[in-house]
Structure 1
Amino acid sequence: MRDWDDAYANSAHIPGSDKMPGQWAERAAAYRAGLKDFRADIAYGAGERQRLDLILPDGDSKGLVVFVHGGYWMRFDKSTWTDLAEGARQHGWTVALPSYTLTPAARISDITAEIAAAIAKAASLVSGPIRLAGHSAGGHLVTRMLCDDSRLEPAVYNRIAGALSISGLHDLRPLLKTKMNETLGMTMEEATLESAALHLPRGHSPVTAWVGGSERPEFIRQSDLMANLWTGFDVPTRLVVDPGLNHFTVIDGLKDPSSPITARLIGLD
């Protein structure tokens, strides 16, 4: 019998991972302190966590990047990840980082709806093309925006130039076999509905599944699955296995305007 808890246990396989959340928060706070134009806690709904931050470039904005954080839909908020905006910001993009209601206070299907609302709000504030990115559970949430049941209005959906799912989860059914589902509370029906890989794509927006080569094998499988399945529906897909990177280091390149992952995010490659 496969140990599904271990398959998704990133922290258990990364030395020093217990100290990382504090380090991420400190780096993000220091980055915010140095920003010239930072707009915090813009409401996209009535809920306490239904807020987003905007990080603006120094000159005119080329468009909107929305980055959705991970944490298995159970942990973290936008404030931990602000510095990941720097790569896109340096290239002239405005970056939105939403928080969302966490499980068990919300179901995953509710969170999907919240992210659609957050993207719509950010899109109303920033003109131009939209590029979506998300890490882990955030990768799930951004690919859900491109599914046949997407809640995005056509005026917003049609602006999406691409999505970057970093270490994303695209088939949620295996999570039913994990202890974390005691918090997630998913049924088979919800896990199926919320699995982007089990949907038809709404259109042909490009999708990149990016994953670290040193991640748990399950995350590499999930990324390969998404890229493989949607290719069959004429969606331009790409699978990138970034050698030597784990589930946490794989997002570091987003801080670097010259990194390959930033280039992919903003459509330079």
Structure 2
Amino acid sequence: MDLEAEYNNRARVPGHPAIIAAWASDSAAWRAACPRVELGLPYGTAPRQAMDVFWPGDRDDVPLAVWIHGGYWQGLDRSFASHCARGLNGRGIAVAVPSYTLCPETTVSGIVAEMLAACTLLFARHGRSMLVAGHSAGGQLAAMMAHALPREMVGAILPVSGVFELEPLLTTTIATPLRLDAPTARKLSPRFLPAPGVVTHAVVGADESDEYLRQTRDFAEAWDGTWEAVPGADHFTVIAPFADPEAPLVALAERLARA
């Protein structure tokens, strides 16, 4: 199997630059239009250790979700993912969207620690269980939150096109900035770190590579969860429904956030 071809999503989807540009545009539009936004809430002292929190209105006593952006732990930031809060905001759910330090400036373990700090701050501020969702690398990070944090903090996760086994990346160009060795890759692979009691639903695009489909299926089975493949969606278009309050995936996410 050609693992480079299986995991190099940008090579698999030549039209990805236009899709990512649309993410940035749609995200800027939602930051301007959201009824209430906290921009740049710090959870640490490093430049990228901050998050934006999107609220559906003036009330603070609403369910809370976290959306963690992708980029293979080495690209993008929260400004490309604001629009993923729009759907849940439209259904009465607050959504926090954090940035994190990127590899190779830090390590994947360092990013996990940063997301733990962000979620811990949110729980300290709001005192309620969270739905943690994320795309691509963010899917791995969402699962790591469920593995590492107490059940009262993370009740459900919704990883989208996640990488749940990192060892297959080691022979690809994707891994170079990550500075992973085999033991560390295994320790950071959520498939092997189930979190009993956490409601788990994993999503993948039906047009993604065989390896992404396999990883999603195997992870859901290992975590005693459910999974679905979104028809006609690739690694980049799979998150489009999260900007739409009427999308079935968003209705499911709302149920998970309110559970």
Smaller-chain TM-score range? over 0.9
CA contact (8 A) 2:34 2:56 kept: no
- Unpaired segments ≥5 residues, structure 1: 232-236
1:248 is aligned, of 223, 227, 236, to 236
Indicate the SS of the match to 1:67: strand
Q: What's the counterpart of residue 181 of structure 1?
A: 175
More divergent stretch after superposition (218-227 vs 259-268): 259-268
What is the TM-score normalised by the length of structure 1?
0.91
Instruction: Decide which moves more: 44-53 or 12-21.
Output: 12-21
- Distance in 2, matches of 1:19 and 1:259, equals 22
2:164 aligns with one of 155, 170, 176: 170
Q: What does the per-residue CA deviation read over 1:150-208, in whole Å, with 9 as the maximum and x for residues that have no partner?
A: 1x3x4xx414231001001101000111112111110011100000111242x311111
- 1:15-60 CA-to-partner distances (Å, cap 9, x unmatched) read 4212222221111112211223111111111111110110011253
> Aligned partners of 1:37 and 1:222: how far apart in 2?
37
Whole-Å Cα distance in 1 between the matches of residues 119 and 168 of structure 2?
28
Q: Percent identity?
A: 34
Counterparts of 1:99-110 in structure 2 under 5 Å?
99-110=99-110
Q: CA deviation at 1:123?
A: 2.1
Distance 1:200 1:10 in 2: 26
- 2:145 and 2:154 in contact (8 A); partners too: no
The corresponding residue for 2:19 is: 20
Count of residues in Structure 1 that have an aligned counterpart in Structure 2: 256
Structure whose residues are more often helix by fraction: 2
- Conserved 8 A contact 1:171-1:197: yes
Aligned residue type for 1:213: A
In 2, are the aligned partners of 1:94 and 1:126 still within 8 Å (CA)?
A: no
Alignment RMSD, CA only? 1.5
Q: Aligned to 2:146, what secondary structure does the other structure show?
A: coil
Moved more, 78-87 or 6-15: 6-15
The answer (yes or no) to whether the contact 2:19–2:237 under 8 Å persists in 1 is no
The aligned counterpart of 1:143 is 143
Secondary structure in 1 matching 2:173: coil
Alignment partner of 2:247 out of 228, 235, 259: 259
Match of 1:119 in 2: 119
**What code does the residue aligned with 2:34 have?**
L
Q: CA offsets per residue over residues 103-138 of structure 1, 9 Å max, x none? A: 001110111111011111122233433111000000
Q: Distance in 2 between matches of 1:116 and 1:85?
A: 20
Distance 2:194 2:37 in 1: 37
